[in-house]
Amino acid sequence: MSDIEIRRAAFAWLGEQVDVHGQVLSREVLGRGFPYKEERIPLVSPQGIFKPRQMELPLSITTVADGPYQDAFGPSLLRYRYRGIDPNHRDNAGLRELIRRREPLIYFHALVKGKYLAVWPVFVVGDEPTSLTFSVAVDDALALKAGVDMSTVAEDSVADIRRGYVTSVIKRRIHQAEFRERVIDAYRQQCALCRLKHDELLDAAHILPDADPDGEPIVPNGIALCKLHHAAFDRFFLSVRPDYTIEIRRDVLQETDGPMLRHGLQGMHGQRIELPTRMALRPSLDLLERRHRRFLELAS
């Protein structure tokens, strides 16, 4: 089997999974892998650098949530730690060979246990044995359109500019995805208002928005909401008071409409939200108070 063919098949399959499941994929899905010529090829393993048995060189690298390795994004590059401290370990040697061949692979960033953001293609572009790290550049998946030689994408004339932009986008996406997963995990994978449990329909709503100086992406500034209640919360159709009670805007309570308005919004008035079990993860009372004051100003 050709490594290049398998890489292309893996990239295409990941694109399909993101279309179905969203940008965050489970370890179960990734471990089960994708079909290729009457076989299934997994994309992850317990090791951070993973080479399926069907391939000559690694297919993916993974940063583990709260793991021992200090992998981090710089302005335009990911610093990825060696496996162990032996530069000649077969996994490290495999990544070094990818530099020579200029072949791409997949980067999985663990957000919480068992949930990963997939980034592809990435290229190993540097090797620093003294610090036991590789430099990895994130690139644009569209650069690998059908028929394009993967090795030419690695060093085309605008690669550095494109990668700097793509890396900044990926860093923001990772921060947003980490916030979402941590908030939804704190609320036990359910909407705090209606208790809907379908993950694809859940969001992490900011109490104070990103634009606010105090709108940090931390769990106490978030509430897990289904998409309907997230939209209603963002547009001040409803508020959550500092005593964790839901308040529906007066004019919305007086409207006459179908069952969605009656049961999905009006029926929530005066109820308490579902809360995280851990006190430290519950919504900040100060942030709720500040947002509720804004709600009352707009409702008056």
Report pLDDT digits (tens) over 12-38: 999 999 998 888 999 999 999 999 998
Shared domain for 99 and 22, answered yes or no, is yes
Domain containing residue 100: CATH number: 2.30.280
Q: Which two tokens stand for residue 50?
A: 């993973």
Domain boundary among 182, 198, 226: 182
Shared domain for 116 and 263, answered yes or no, is no
Give 3-state DSSP helix, strand, coil % of the chain, rounded to 5: 40, 20, 40
Q: Which two tokens stand for residue 260?
A: 């969605």
pTM of the model: 0.77
pLDDT at site 162: 74
* Amino acid code (one letter) for 213: P
Beta strands in 96-228 (DSSP E): 105-112, 115-128, 133-138, 202-206, 222-226
From residue 252, alpha-carbon distances to 67, 154, 195, 237, 264 in Å are 47, 55, 21, 7, 12
pLDDT at site 68: 46
Shared domain for 248 and 142, answered yes or no, is no
Shared domain for 47 and 108, answered yes or no, is yes
Shared domain for 203 and 226, answered yes or no, is yes
Shared domain for 41 and 171, answered yes or no, is yes
pLDDT at site 211: 87
Shared domain for 208 and 251, answered yes or no, is yes
Shared domain for 278 and 213, answered yes or no, is yes
Using the structure block, give the residue that is written with the tokens 């509720």: 292
The torsion defined by the Cα of 175, 180, 186 and 189, in degrees rounded to 10, comes to: -150
pLDDT at site 293: 96
pLDDT at site 204: 97
What residues of the chain score a pLDDT lower than 50? 68-69
Shared domain for 57 and 198, answered yes or no, is no
What is the extent of the structural domain holding 92?
3-182
Domain boundary among 128, 160, 182: 182
pLDDT at site 197: 95
Shared domain for 156 and 16, answered yes or no, is yes
Shared domain for 161 and 214, answered yes or no, is no
pLDDT at site 155: 57
**Rounded Cα gap, residues 18 and 34, in angstroms:** 13
pLDDT at site 113: 86
Taking alpha carbons only, the member of 115, 131, 4, 112 closest to residue 59 is: 4
